[in-house]
Amino acid sequence: MNKKLQFLILMLLGLVFNPTYAQNKSAFKVIPLGTKGGLDESNLSAYLIAPAGSENFICADAGTIRHGIDAAISNQLFKGPADEVLKNKIKGYLISHAHLDHVAGLIMNSPDDVKKNIYALPSVIAVLRDNYFTWKAWANFANEGDLPRLSKYTYVSLEENVNKELMGTEMQVTPFRLSHGPGYESTAFLISHGNASLLYLGDTGADEIEKNTQLEKLWKQVAPLVVKNQLKALFIETSFSNKQPENQLFGHLTPRLLMVELNKLSKLTGVEALRKVAVVITHMKAWDKEEEYLVNELKKNDSLGLKLVFPEQGKLLEF
């Protein structure tokens, strides 16, 4: 065997067995269209999620759509124009709850959109149907509710803990109920492709504040996936800093409460396994210096040494 061939074979073997290379092979790509929790209308919760190598995205929450697509185009993640991205890349919407900062982009972009599904729990569909797509707040682009129904969107009711195909994508979803303040239901979506999963939580309070066990139940459901290293990322909110009085959280988390919850999860999975999951912090209600403060607080409160990720509008994440 000549020297050149020997060298080539060694190179290839090195590539295959290089642990860095193996670790870097991602299962999902996520393009945040909006990341913040309210106020600034240009950057509200919305995350495009697709399996690595696919362009068939589901959109988890839909606070800001158009302005986020514009940002993604600026960063050359899409070619554009924006309305083609809206129509062709987004195959459907997963809505965690119907507060305006999670649905405004979907509603306002509906005139430019094409036929697709909106997946949500029945309580969330009820608000879209009875409050927004009513001809009073907006034309009824959906297939239920006030007449005439333009039927561009088809509501697909999800059932807790029941797996559903996400049409037009290579992914499935399983929803779990969350508690977002007294009597207000929000949703966690477990999104799967093959053996890999990603967990996206809508707004949620901590069990100790909400006085229930919604998150504890969720952690029990997903712990086996963490243990098997199949859960690649966990998107969870931290709306307020620890300075926010705990009787004024309005169904949201702080760094302290986030870590209380993730400590519970780590008890079920072991710390090492949980450290492999990217913990993506969503829905911060803080800007400029206050945002820096909240990020620092999160890092300080992260006694488990978790992999915290701070998403940015229009910037690709891979897990």
87/275 with CB nearer a copy of itself: 87
Which phi and psi angles does 201 have, rounded to 5°? -100, 130
105/255 with CB nearer a copy of itself: 105
Residue 161 Cβ vs a copy of itself, minimum distance, rounded to whole Å: 24
51/68 with CB nearer a copy of itself: 68
123/221 with CB nearer a copy of itself: 123
Residue 13 Cβ vs a copy of itself, minimum distance, rounded to whole Å: 51
Residue 131 Cβ vs a copy of itself, minimum distance, rounded to whole Å: 5
Residue 95 Cβ vs a copy of itself, minimum distance, rounded to whole Å: 12
Residue 216 Cβ vs a copy of itself, minimum distance, rounded to whole Å: 26
63/92 with CB nearer a copy of itself: 63
Three-state SS string across the chain, please? CCHHHHHHHHHHHHHHHCHHHHHHCCCEEEEEEECECCCCCCCECEEEEEECCCCCEEEEEECCCHHHHHHHHHCCCCCCCHHHHHHHHEEEEECCCCCHHHCHHHHHHHHHCCCEEEEECHHHHHHHHHHHECCCCECCCECCCCCCCCCCEEEEECCCCCCEEECCCCEEEEEEEEECCCCCEEEEEEEEECCEEEEEECCCCCHHHHCCCHHHHHHHHHHHHHHCCCEEEEEEECCCCCCCCHHHCCCCCCHHHHHHHHHHHHHHHCHHHHHCCEEEEECECCCHHHHHHHHHHHHHHCCCCCEEECCCCCCCEEC
Residue 108 Cβ vs a copy of itself, minimum distance, rounded to whole Å: 6
Residue 269 Cβ vs a copy of itself, minimum distance, rounded to whole Å: 35
Name residue 234's beta-bridge partners: 199, 279
81/305 with CB nearer a copy of itself: 81
- In the complex, which residues of this chain contact a copy of itself (CB under 8 A)? 38-42, 44, 63-67, 70, 81-82, 98-101, 104-105, 107-109, 111-112, 126-127, 130-132, 134-139, 184, 250, 287-288
